[in-house]
Amino acid sequence: MNQYIPIRYFFLLLSLIALAELLLMLTIDPMMEAHGYPVWIRAMADAGLLTLICVPFMLNLQLRPMQMAYHDPLTGMPNRQLFNDRLDHALVVARREKRSFAVVFLDLDNFKPINDKFGHRIGDVVLKLAAVRIESELRESDTVARIGGDEFALLLADAESTADAECVINKITATLSRPFEVRGHKLELGVSAGIAFYPADGSSGIELIDFADDAMYRNKNIRKSLEAAQKPEVGLRPSGSESI
């Protein structure tokens, strides 16, 4: 990612410095001159105040590319890169302390039909609202990332058993099952999830991610098969009935 400051920000900074210097010349400088402060003290005061005004602005410009590099621009969540970094750190801690943790992959069922029918603007709103609901069910020690499309990944650092991870998934499923009301539309989502545990399901980040991803798609396919089996077959008549 480009780490250089865009030219528009450079001119914005120059304008900020000019405005700050003008304000100092009209306010602070006359006051200090009236009280008999020498020129060099007034110059130091000007420099100090300009620094206080401009340094936060410069830091924001420098940190913004880093923020964009590690966070999803739509939801503000960590992205795949930051998730992988935290997963690597969790592996180091787990190996040292001989403990377990869980990686969970989530997929929002029924999101694609919503996106296709109502458009990307409403789809983006639903994704942001879903992200807020997911985050609300996690602990501070957990990490949730949007890794692309309607897929999210969870790092449950304190999950020691399947029951711990399933408890989190059940809470997320419950909160996402409540309808989303967006611009007059009442929209409903579902959740498919897959769980991987360290070290039972993998000893590296890649192995854990692949296991959780595969488990999620297996569960999604099972759910679709069950839903299809429960739907009545169109065009079939009960045995012994007569056609009219």
Give the residue numbers marked as catalytic: 150
Output the pLDDT for position 244.
32
Phi, psi of 61 (to 5 degrees): -65, -35
Residue 53 has pLDDT above 60, yes or no: yes
Residue 88 has pLDDT above 90, yes or no: yes
Q: Which residues contact 213 (CB under 8 A, 6 or more apart)?
A: 105, 194
**Residue 209, SS3?**
helix
DSSP state of 92: H
The residues with which 155 forms a beta bridge, in sequence order, are 103, 143
Residue 213: closest CA among 85, 80, 116: 80
The residue-averaged pLDDT of 14-25 equals 67
Matching CATH number, 80-227, of 3.40.50.300, 3.30.70.270, 3.30.430.20, 1.10.340.30: 3.30.70.270
Separation between Cα atoms, residue 217 and residue 128, nearest integer Å? 23
Separation between Cα atoms, residue 175 and residue 134, nearest integer Å? 8
* Continuous segment of H or E residues that includes residue 43: helix 39-70
Round the CA-based radius of gyration of the chain to a whole number and report it. Answer: 28
Work out the pLDDT band at 188, boundaries 50, 70, 90.
very high
Give me the chain's average pLDDT, please. 82
**Residue 129, SS3?**
helix
DSSP state of 207: H
Output the pLDDT for position 37.
72
Work out the pLDDT band at 116, boundaries 50, 70, 90.
very high
Span(s) in the chain for CATH 3.30.70.270: 80-227
